[in-house]
A and B are shown apart, each in its own frame.
Chain A
């Protein structure tokens, strides 16, 4: 019998975690997750970094940020359309659990995927290229906030009614790829024209790159306080919009 004595919030957290664990077991090794979450950011990094004059140690924060960005935002767009196609998403809608908890579970799966994979460039940087973590706190905040914000971004895009990951990845990449060019990933922000610096400030990826640079002893343009504030705003905005869009979808069902 259902555990009627469990507290409402405790129950929602347990179910959200169960959904996250199930998604990890089921979708982490699916080809679209590997392609868009790992292969894509590493390939982009290699194509842009080969031939640059910047030392490799200075490029480690870029690889960390790109991996956080692509890996975290890829899980929602892989999981939700696949579950829609198999009608397994309906299982959540007919279970005694709120849509919010379902989406939090999916977001958690994205966070763990993004943060987990992004640990690899940190370790590789430290082990082989002499990278140093100057501020572990900043690095932790960078990982938690960025993976949360980007995972929520993926969940928000996954509200697009589609039954294959490609149907969601395509519009998502229309946003993700241009963000690479305005976020100080390949061109330092201080070298950008003033109007581009303003645009750059609006990109969440800028603040991930900056926090990763700050944590590894690099120079930053906006400073960690503004980075954290803006990433927090984006996290809340993406979560809120993602939930709203999914509720709107349910109304249209």
Chain B
């Protein structure tokens, strides 16, 4: 079996509310799997069912082939969990937090100490091991929380919004660490709001919306599904007289949007538009000072599939406008 995690018809109801609706997916051993979705989409509910905190209303999940419902102890031995809140024991020292975690996993005394020292050194916290965690910064608590999840040398690491609310330095440290751990063979299940993070880090991503999986694929393949959102960005010197009217007449241009001193021409065929632009500039004696071809981002895929702007997580108020124009609008506001 090549799968680290399998969710089969996983369903969760809270009264009449169907929070997670018969979802199916698998995570291969050794991959970084991103789980994306807006607030209330069912991400945390799914992770809580996969990790045994919450029992599914219907369906099953297996962790390294152990059914989390039927064999929870065996399944839980295989995983480490970093929840969205750093749930460390503030009253205990960094060292005691790790040792207590080792005890929860019934690790022998000698290996508890060795592993705790190894992790505290790896996370740059060994010198502060005797200090109570309550005095630590948010980033340090996050690192302790990840170290606690790694105490039992698990095969799978669940990370729920691991970089949310952290400063840039902590974010970079944690992302680098996740990559290192993955290179060492650890399977990573990552839920995040940060689409760029998922795009950079994940081998595959699943997008969940309204409790259902909207798409699962590699970030690049998902981007390619939105060919209509490819565009060519161009700037001229001197500025043409009536550029919007002229550029809209170019063959294969579906939409033109002005962005500052540049124009974005949306097309399914960027090379054809580049040819036309070259001819247009020659005919009008214009110098092309900027030419970029821009593909759709994972964020565009996310918005297309969920209908929600990740920046605001609200329905866009420009729903009547074309997809291309909405994409341009979002880029302007970045």
Contact = CB atoms under 8 A, between A and B. Distances in A.
Interface in B7-53: 14, 48, 51-53
A249 to B, nearest CB: 10
A94 B51 contact: yes
A250 B55 contact: yes
A253 B108 contact: no
A95 interface: yes
Contact of B107 (A2, A25, A26, A86): A2
A14 interface: yes
Contacts, number: 81
A95 B89 contact: no
How many of chain A's residues touch chain B, expressed as a range? 20 to 34
Given A2-B107, A3-B108, A91-B104, A26 B85 contact: no
Nearest to A8: B73
Contacts of B77: 2, 96
Interface string A5-19: 010000100110011
B103 A18 contact: yes
Interface residues of B, number: 33
B111 A1 contact: yes
B76 A95 contact: yes
A29 B157 CA distance: 34
B270 interface: no
A14 B104 CA distance: 9
A98 interface: yes
Given A2-B106, A3-B108, A95-B76, A88 B55 contact: no
Contact residues of A: prevailing secondary structure: helix
B106 A3 contact: yes
A251 B106 contact: no
Given A94-B51, A97-B73, 15 more contacts: A1-B107, A2-B77, A2-B105, A2-B106, A15-B103, A22-B100, A86-B87, A92-B104, A95-B105, A96-B77, A96-B104, A97-B104, A250-B54, A251-B55, A253-B53
Interface of B: 14, 48, 51-55, 72-74, 76-77, 79, 81, 83, 85, 87-92, 100-101, 103-108, 111, 152-153
15 contacts: A2-B106, A2-B107, A3-B106, A18-B104, A19-B104, A26-B91, A86-B90, A91-B104, A93-B53, A94-B53, A94-B81, A96-B77, A98-B73, A250-B54, A250-B55
